[in-house]
Amino acid sequence: MEARQIVKSFPGGAVALDHVSIAIERNEFFTLLGPSGCGKTTLLRLIAGFEQPTAGEIFLDGQRIEHLPPFRRPINTVFQSYALFPHMTVGQNIAFGLEMQGIPRAEIGRRVTEMLDLVKLGGFEGRKVDQMSGGQQQRVALARALANRPKVLLLDEPLSALDLKLRKEMQIELKRLQTETGITFVFVTHDQEEALTMSDRIAVMSAGRILQVGAPRAIYETPEHRFVADFIGESDFLPALVEAAGAGGVAYRLASGARVEGPVQEFNPGASVSLSTRPERLSLAAADMPGGLAGTIEALVYSGTDTTFHVTLDDGAGRLRVREQNMAGRPFAHARGDRVAVLVPAAAVRAFRDFKD
C-alpha cells in the first residue's frame, strides 16, 4: 500500500495532512504513531475511503484506489468502539458482512468457526455480544474484520478502551493474528510503548507530517528529530556547542564548559545543538570521577525494578535523569543531596541542530 504526497485540508482551513508519503509492505505490521491531532486517524480514514484526499494518490498492489468507495476496497477497519451490533449474536456479527457479499451459507458457517478459533473464542458463536467483556468484544470485532479476508486491516486505537493487563495480552494477540493471517496491518496509536512492542515499522507523525519511518529499534536508538527523541521513550536535552567533528566522532562543549563526546554526526564546528541522552544509558559515579559531569542529586524516584536519579549539573549545564537497576540486597549507593558524577558514554549521545526560527 502506498500513499503519495497526500494533502488533506478541511473546510475552515485545518490542514490535517501536509504532503504525506508512505509505502507499506505486504504482510507488514505498520504503525502510525503520534500525539493527539497529528493526523493519524485522518490518514487511516483516507486509506479506508471514508474521506477523500484534497491532493495526492493512494495505491494498493499498484492500482489507484482513492476514487473507490470503501466497500470496493479490499480493506477493513477495526475501531476503538468495536462498532458491533449489540443485539445480535457473535456468529451473526461475524457473518453479517459475508452475507452482504452473497457468500454461500455453508461457506459462511465454515468461516465463522474458523475466525472464532483464530481469535480464541471457539464455542461463543451463539452468545449475545452485549453479554461479553470488553476484551471479548474486541476479539469479535477483529474476527468480523478478518472474516472476508481483506488485504489490509486498519486498526484505529483498538486497544485503548481496555485496561492495562488486558491491553498487554491483546498486544501479543494482535501480533499473533497478523503473523498467522499474513494480512497487512496498519495500526494507529498514540502509545509509544505499544508501537515499539508490536510493529515491524513505525511512522512517527507530528502536525500533519511524517517525521521518521523505521523499525522500532532504529526509531528509539537513532531518532532523526528532536521531537522523535522526546516522544519515544524518555530523553533529556542539554544545550551545547560543537567543538570538533570528524571521522572519530563529535566533541561538544556544554554551557558549563564541560566536554562531552558523541558518535559521528554531521555538524560544523561552532554549531549550536541540543544533546540528548536517555536515562537508562547513563550511570552515576563518585563526584571526583574524571570524565563525568559533576552535579547534585535533586530527587530520586523508586519504581520497583529501578530508581531514577534527577541530577542538576554544575554551573548551569542543565539537568539529566539517570536510571539504575535495583539489585537484590544492594542498598542505594546515593541519596538526595549527594554530589555525584554522571557518566555519559559516547554511544549514549545524540545531538540535534537547534533551529532558531
What is the contact surface with ligand ATP in residues (CB under 6 A)? 10, 14, 16, 34, 36-42, 190
CB closer to ligand ATP out of 33 and 146: 33
| Coil, helix or strand at residue 11 | coil
CB closer to ligand ATP out of 46 and 254: 46
CA-to-CA dists, residue 100 to 42, 96, 111, 179, angstroms: 27, 6, 14, 28
- Cell numbers of 320, please? 539529566
Give, rounded to a whole angstrom, the gap between the first and last alpha carbons of the chain.
36
CB of 224 to ligand ATP, least distance (A): 20
CB of 10 to ligand ATP, least distance (A): 3
Residue nearest to ligand ATP (CB): 41
CB closer to ligand ATP out of 36 and 63: 36
Give the whole-angstrom CA distance, residue 274 versus residue 124: 55
- The amino acid that residue 93 corresponds to is N
Phi/psi at 183 (nearest 5 deg)? -85, 145
Angle, alpha carbons 29-64-71 (nearest 5°): 75
CB closer to ligand ATP out of 103 and 207: 207
CB of 347 to ligand ATP, least distance (A): 33
- Cell numbers of 327, please? 539489585
CB closer to ligand ATP out of 80 and 312: 80
CB of 80 to ligand ATP, least distance (A): 9
Give the whole-angstrom CA distance, residue 211 versus residue 352: 14
CB of 354 to ligand ATP, least distance (A): 27
Sequence-ordered list of residues with C-beta below 8 angstroms from that of 221, at least 6 positions apart, any chain: none
